[in-house]
Chain A
Amino acid sequence: GCLRQQTWKIHFILLFSRQGKLRLQKWYTTLPDKEKKKIIREIVQIILSRNQKTSSFVDWKDLKLVYKRYASLYFCCAIEDQDNELLTLEVVHRYVELLDRYFGNVCELDIIFNFEKAYFILDEFIIGGEVQETSKRSAVKAIEDSDMLQETVEEYMNKPAF
């Protein structure tokens, strides 16, 4: 119902661990926080309860969930009925590749400790639910260039340690 009001390719992306801990959430539709929490809880439960050998697609309300597990992390996208499931799997895979390239052999801990980087990479790759950069090289270059900009800032070096 409420997910219909804004129609973009990907409605949201969730990353969560095998234990059901959310690691990243990106919404391309506007929803109240309460609703989001409910949806997250529901979807994490649906996907974690699925058999490993099943297909990567679940019909959920009027959307389709496309998910894939990489090591201990589940990557899950919600797309519309007419959208291409296989392409969405490729999108997920491409994002994992980007993370991998940026972090070097990415693991769940990388995403926990550098969660803002995980978001920056995602934002370089997908904007408003739509893939903006189909070339791996350009996406990672944009992030690295931005980081260069960041590293030259002296305040960053002097920031208080926690």
Chain B
Amino acid sequence: KFLFVCFPQAKYISQCIDEIKQELKQDNIAVKANAVCKLTYLQMLGYDISWAAFNIIEVMSASKFTFKRIGYLAASQCFHEGTDVIMLTTNQIRKDLSSPNQYDTGVALTGLSCFVTPDLARDLANDIMTLMSHTKPYIRKKAVLIMYKVFLKYPESLRPAFPRLKEKLEDPDPGVQSAAVNVICELARRNPKNYLSLAPLFFKLMTSSTNNWVLIKIIKLFGALTPLEPRLGKKLIEPLTNLIHSTSAMSLLYECVNTVIAVSMTWSFFQLCVQKLRILIEDSDQNLKYLGLLAMSKILKTHPKSVQSHKDLILQCLDDKDESIRLRALDLLYGMVSKKNLMEIVKKLMIHVDKAEGTTYRDELLTKIIDICSQSNYQYITNFEWYISILVELTRLEGTRHGHLIAAQMLDVAIRVKAIRKFAVSQMAMLLDNAHLIASNTQRNGICEVLYAAAWICGEFSEHLEEANQTLEAMLRPKVTTLPGHIQAVYVQNMVKLYASILQQKEQSGEKEAAQEITQLMIERLPQFVQSADLEVQERASCILQLIKYIQKLQIKEVPVAEEVIALFAGELNPVAPKAQKKVPVPEGLDLDAWINEPPSDSESEDEKPKTIFHDEEQRHSRHRQPEIDEEELARRREARKQEQANNPFYIKSSPSPQKRYQDTPGVEHIPVVQIDLSVPLKVPGMPMSDQYVKLEEERRHKQKLEKDKKKKKQKKEKRGKHHRHNSLHTESEEDIAPAHHVDIITEEMPENALPSDEDDKDPNDPYKALDIDLDKPLADSEKLPVQRHRNVETLKSPDSEAPLVEKKSKKPKKKEKKHKEKERDKGKKKEKEKKVIEEEEEKKVILQDLHYVRNCCYGPYLLLCSAVTYDIQGNLQNDSQVTVSVIFENKSTSFLKSMELNVLDSLNTKMLRPEGSSVHDGIPVPFQLPPGISNEAQFVFTLQSIVMAQKLKGTLSFIVKNDEGSTHEKLDFKLHFSCASYLITTPCYSDAFAKLLESGDLHMSSIKVDGISISFQHLLAKICFHHHFSVVERVDSCASMYSRSIQGHHVCLLVKKGENSVSIDGKCNDSTLLSNLLDEMKETLSKC
């Protein structure tokens, strides 16, 4: 048809375009249509055809279907919201929509779905809505689907069109029905709470429909609804089980399983899903395998145990030829390790490291091994010698980019696990000795980075070195100068530490000559570092060279120097938590923002500054060590070491290979290391030994178990006659595995009286841990009842008092907003945005009905942040130091808003939770953009330490306003008000528990009285419940007791009494400040009544 498709050369195309331009000028519509058709093809090839927009409209308007169809196709491919001529099409489209020919209508609808603009949506909404009731199902179906696009572009159409849309759920034509399901499901997925009332209807559809496409949609919808209405979960079990058992469609099965995972149902149901997933993973189809693993990783987050039993299967997947499947399996392994299986899993991974082709996957394996071992503060490691040897084995990896990761682990373990230092030092000395094998790869972050760690560990813990001389010599080899500068610098620094300890040792044993020899060695070899091109290395080396020359002078005069030299490196370096500085409490009365000295004026000379810096330095250097040598500990370690030596091939670093060591007599230890032939690329001695640990560990555990069993038998004997079935059924569990040797992991240091909070200890990136909540436990009263409670509150209200409350809420804000807008215009400002902050409870977007469906969190009224932004603060039950702030952004301007970023000025007490690695000055991007008239909700988490006082945080919302004139960057300041009430969680309390609480006498008391109250008592209680998150415990006439609990567990009890025109509230609470603040807030609410 078109020859040019075969020869799309640029020249040919431009020739074609010229031809097309000629054709478009002709009057013959057929020729024109054909030209447009060719243009559509060119558009697909990437050519701009927007210049022909008007011709396209001409062809769209053709009376013949043939041409119309081509015109609409071209329009749907190249028209968009910015196309100017699009508004010319309104009438043509309207005409086509009402054409007696259903295909004319169809083609117009299809086209519209691609290029509908807000204007078109507004103008044609009614026409399309009418088409939803067209006689032809072909048209009804399309009209229903287009309606969704119309809703998006013109949200005002949703409410009027919704009843008819709902009707279509029961359309006699299955195609129309499925279209309606599609649209409603899509709507509901975004805002599920508005569609809860349709649940019964969808439930009926789900049990009656046989169309898999429809079923998948409905199941997805229930996945979104169930979290809001937990009772749905129970109802879904039966139909979902039936589907899972009966369907042959994998897509449907997969959807069911995914939904079950998402809404967390019963344990047995979970097991069923895991079984089904196993079948998927075992399938030969790569796609099913991949998805099975993907779903497994979702289950792992909530039910790790049920996945752990399928470890074999997941390990098998590591052998898969498909890399994406292997990576999925690796992700799963991370969450599956336990003390029991860690060594085994890592062993398997090490085998894969050896086999892996391609550095990307190998590096992925390496990081995973380290992640798995180091997770939760090395929780699953029972034998650190094993871990160190794993790390040493990993240094064999050539071409890795993660040398620094291994190095960091070596340093961390050696510093924090004191018991392992001796072993670590021996291993590191070996690495240094074999540096030539590692140093061949000197790229940044390459494997040579481990030498950095090795040098530091050997230097810092040189007291553990068996052959310090030899290690020192290894560090002074000329080859070292080829290493990257930062590693050489560490070498230089640490060889002095080594030198100092050798010096001390020699002096103590009276070997003066040996001491002088070692000094001479240093003086001979150090100049190679003094010549380094790296400044850091050069500086350190020349300092040290001078120092050692001085030492030599003293040595010649026979002055003992060792004590003083070693004093240079006195003091233990303790690990300090990265967040320690932040945790230092600010002493009372200290204002960090105040100037200590008035800022210097410009005229002042600058040469005074350095003085103060030096002064500071001097003070900092006075560090003292208190070496604590515990005799018992030393003896114990010595004993342990002897034992270790017996079966530990690593220990003798001077033997050329571990195999040899076994055959040799102990005398071999004295063979000097120089005898190793360096030209032969030996395996680093002792390297492939982690496997032996696995074996040893197994034996050890077996032994342990036997011992335990013995003990148990003994116990049994003693207790014979009594029934003790539990013991006999006992199997080895996590707790039974005692660590190989006593390991004391030093926790990182925190400043004294650091502010108490564990917020930092929880790794926000560790979803598996955070979500480890037992979902099968029967609901506790505190979880279950908010639903009931709210109903109780409502029944308290007389029907006439409830209605106006809701109505007033919806009316009031509108008025207010209008007023603000007018004010704005008066001020002559361009945008309809309110810059002033209003912190009163004006916007009440939350519909009371919502409260029925909310567990675990309490909704308060959304406060008005500024006219475009409303927010609500909720406490987080799972975390006693976090609140979630939900912010609704509404774009009231006529411009497009994008790149919104919300930032607040953190206070000491309250901080916005930012992603790791970002500074306090970074805002958090709002995850959406706002077209005009649209609103959307985003959530931000804040951490706080004390909740006894209300907080105000200043913040800024920055965004880009985009309109026809271009885009501008705008800012909106606001204040976030964290009232004390927002830290309360509506918690029901029974009257007897309430009484006990009051009797306990642990509570502080305070009371308030408010005059001029005119509203009814029910209404008043409802207000306290709603705004201050209380629940009514008991009510007698005009007196009621109320209760609430703070996220940090404070109990708050109230006794509310109503007099003639006043109300008095007596409160009791664990914390008197919190109580008085809460009462003040209540007073403010009530005084407005």
* Interface residues in chain A, defined as those with a beta carbon under 8 Å from any beta carbon in chain B: 4-9, 22-25, 27-28, 30, 33, 37, 51, 53-58, 82, 84-87, 89-90, 112-116, 119-120, 123-124, 127-128, 130-135, 138, 142, 145-146, 149-150, 153, 155-156, 158-160, 162
Closest beta carbon of chain B to A83's beta carbon, Å: 8
Contact across chains for A87 and B322 when beta carbons are under 8 A apart: no
A77 to B660, CA, bound (A): 61
Contact across chains for B216 and A159 when beta carbons are under 8 A apart: no
Contact across chains for A153 and B286 when beta carbons are under 8 A apart: no
The segment from B44-52, B410-418, B1078-1086 that touches chain A is: B44-52
- Decide: A130 near B291, CB < 8 A? Known: A116-B73, A155-B30: no
Q: Mark B26-50, 1 if CB is under 8 A from A, else 0.
A: 0001110010010011001110100
- Decide: A87 near B175, CB < 8 A? Known: A55-B325, A162-B2: no
B1 CB within 8 Å of chain A: yes
The segment from B138-146, B579-587, B617-625 that touches chain A is: B138-146
Q: What would be 27 A-B contacts, judged by CB atoms less than 8 Å apart?
A: A4-B927, A6-B152, A22-B46, A24-B44, A30-B81, A53-B321, A55-B289, A55-B290, A57-B287, A87-B216, A89-B251, A116-B70, A119-B77, A127-B109, A128-B145, A130-B182, A130-B186, A132-B141, A132-B175, A134-B175, A135-B174, A142-B103, A146-B69, A149-B66, A150-B65, A155-B30, A162-B34
B110 CB within 8 Å of chain A: yes
What are the 4 closest A-B residue pairs judged by CB atoms, nearest first?
A86-B251, A55-B290, A128-B113, A87-B251
Q: Which of A4, A37, A119, A145 contacts B46 (CB 8 A)?
A: A37
Residue of A nearest to B41 (CB): A115
- Decide: A116 near B40, CB < 8 A? Known: A33-B48, A51-B322, A130-B145: yes
Contact across chains for B65 and A84 when beta carbons are under 8 A apart: no
CB contacts under 8 Å to A, within B145-203, are 145-146, 148-149, 152, 174-175, 178-179, 182-183, 186, 189-190
A160 to B28, CA, bound (A): 10
Contact across chains for A57 and B34 when beta carbons are under 8 A apart: no
Contact across chains for B138 and A142 when beta carbons are under 8 A apart: yes
Closest beta carbon of chain B to A13's beta carbon, Å: 12
- Decide: A127 near B65, CB < 8 A? Known: A87-B213, A134-B213, A142-B138: no
- Decide: A54 near B142, CB < 8 A? Known: A86-B250, A86-B251, A123-B110: no
A37 to B45, CA, bound (A): 10
How many A-B contacts at CB < 8 Å in the complex?
166
Contact across chains for A156 and B81 when beta carbons are under 8 A apart: no
Q: Chain B's interface: helix, strand, loop or mixed, by majority?
A: helix
Residues of B close to A54: CB separation below 8 A: 286, 322-325
Contact across chains for A133 and B152 when beta carbons are under 8 A apart: no
A156 to B41, CA, bound (A): 19
Interface size of B in residues (CB-CB distance below 8 Å)? 75
Closest beta carbon of chain A to B1080's beta carbon, Å: 43
A146 to B189, CA, bound (A): 35
Contact across chains for B175 and A84 when beta carbons are under 8 A apart: no
Contact across chains for A159 and B34 when beta carbons are under 8 A apart: yes
- Decide: A133 near B141, CB < 8 A? Known: A128-B113, A150-B65: yes
Q: Which of A25, A30, A160 contacts B44 (CB 8 A)?
A: A25
Contact across chains for B106 and A142 when beta carbons are under 8 A apart: yes
Closest beta carbon of chain B to A144's beta carbon, Å: 11
- Decide: A120 near B145, CB < 8 A? Known: A86-B251, A162-B3: no
Residues of B close to A128: CB separation below 8 A: 113-114, 145-146, 148-149
Contact across chains for A56 and B287 when beta carbons are under 8 A apart: yes
- Decide: A113 near B30, CB < 8 A? Known: A86-B287, A131-B182, A133-B175: no
Known: A9-B186, A132-B142. 19 other contacts (CB 8 A): A5-B929, A22-B44, A51-B323, A57-B290, A57-B324, A86-B250, A87-B251, A87-B255, A120-B69, A124-B110, A128-B149, A130-B182, A131-B182, A133-B141, A134-B175, A134-B214, A149-B65, A153-B65, A156-B66
B605 CB within 8 Å of chain A: no
Q: Chain A's interface: helix, strand, loop or mixed, by majority?
A: mixed
A55 to B189, CA, bound (A): 28
Contact across chains for A82 and B220 when beta carbons are under 8 A apart: yes
B576 CB within 8 Å of chain A: no
* Interface residues in chain B, defined as those with a beta carbon under 8 Å from any beta carbon in chain A: 1-3, 5, 29-31, 34, 37, 40-41, 44-46, 48, 64-66, 69-70, 73, 76-77, 80-81, 101, 103, 106-107, 109-110, 113-114, 138, 141-142, 145-146, 148-149, 152, 174-175, 178-179, 182-183, 186, 189-190, 211, 213-214, 216, 220, 250-251, 254-255, 258, 286-291, 321-325, 927-929, 931
A6 to B183, CA, bound (A): 14
A153 to B68, CA, bound (A): 12
Residue of A nearest to B3 (CB): A162
A146 to B102, CA, bound (A): 10
Residue of A nearest to B81 (CB): A30
Contact across chains for A115 and B44 when beta carbons are under 8 A apart: yes
Residues of B close to A130: CB separation below 8 A: 145, 148, 179, 182-183, 186
Closest beta carbon of chain B to A30's beta carbon, Å: 5
Residue of B nearest to A122 (CB): B110
A87 to B152, CA, bound (A): 24
A155 to B928, CA, bound (A): 49
Residue of A nearest to B70 (CB): A116
Residues of B close to A37: CB separation below 8 A: 46
A142 to B251, CA, bound (A): 27
A45 to B41, CA, bound (A): 22
Contact across chains for A146 and B103 when beta carbons are under 8 A apart: yes
Q: Which of A7, A27, A84, A158 contacts B251 (CB 8 A)?
A: A84
Q: Which of A6, A51, A150, A160 contacts B66 (CB 8 A)?
A: A150
Residues of B close to A120: CB separation below 8 A: 69, 73
A119 to B182, CA, bound (A): 22
- Decide: A138 near B175, CB < 8 A? Known: A57-B290, A120-B73: yes
A28 to B190, CA, bound (A): 18
Q: Which of B2, B113, B216 has the most CB of A within 10 A?
A: B113
A123 to B109, CA, bound (A): 10
Closest beta carbon of chain B to A79's beta carbon, Å: 12
Residue of A nearest to B117 (CB): A30
A123 to B291, CA, bound (A): 29
Contact across chains for A160 and B287 when beta carbons are under 8 A apart: no
Residues of A close to B183: CB separation below 8 A: 130
A149 to B2, CA, bound (A): 23
Q: Which of B29, B142, B251 contacts A90 (CB 8 A)?
A: B251
Residues of B close to A56: CB separation below 8 A: 286-287
- Decide: A127 near B110, CB < 8 A? Known: A55-B322, A146-B65, A153-B64: yes
Contact across chains for B148 and A86 when beta carbons are under 8 A apart: no
Contact across chains for A116 and B37 when beta carbons are under 8 A apart: yes
Residue of B nearest to A112 (CB): B5
Residues of A close to B325: CB separation below 8 A: 54-55
Closest beta carbon of chain B to A125's beta carbon, Å: 11
Residues of A close to B40: CB separation below 8 A: 115-116
Contact across chains for B255 and A84 when beta carbons are under 8 A apart: yes
Closest beta carbon of chain A to B34's beta carbon, Å: 6
- Decide: A5 near B182, CB < 8 A? Known: A127-B110, A128-B148: no
A51 to B2, CA, bound (A): 34
Contact across chains for A162 and B322 when beta carbons are under 8 A apart: no
Closest beta carbon of chain B to A9's beta carbon, Å: 7
Q: Which of B2, B254, B322 contacts A86 (CB 8 A)?
A: B254
A132 to B147, CA, bound (A): 13
Closest beta carbon of chain A to B153's beta carbon, Å: 9
Residue of B nearest to A158 (CB): B30
Residues of B close to A8: CB separation below 8 A: 186
Contact across chains for A162 and B1 when beta carbons are under 8 A apart: yes
Closest beta carbon of chain B to A8's beta carbon, Å: 8
Closest beta carbon of chain A to B492's beta carbon, Å: 46
A28 to B175, CA, bound (A): 21
A84 to B288, CA, bound (A): 12
Q: Which of A4, A53, A89, A159 contacts B30 (CB 8 A)?
A: A159
A41 to B631, CA, bound (A): 70
Closest beta carbon of chain A to B224's beta carbon, Å: 9
Residues of A close to B250: CB separation below 8 A: 86
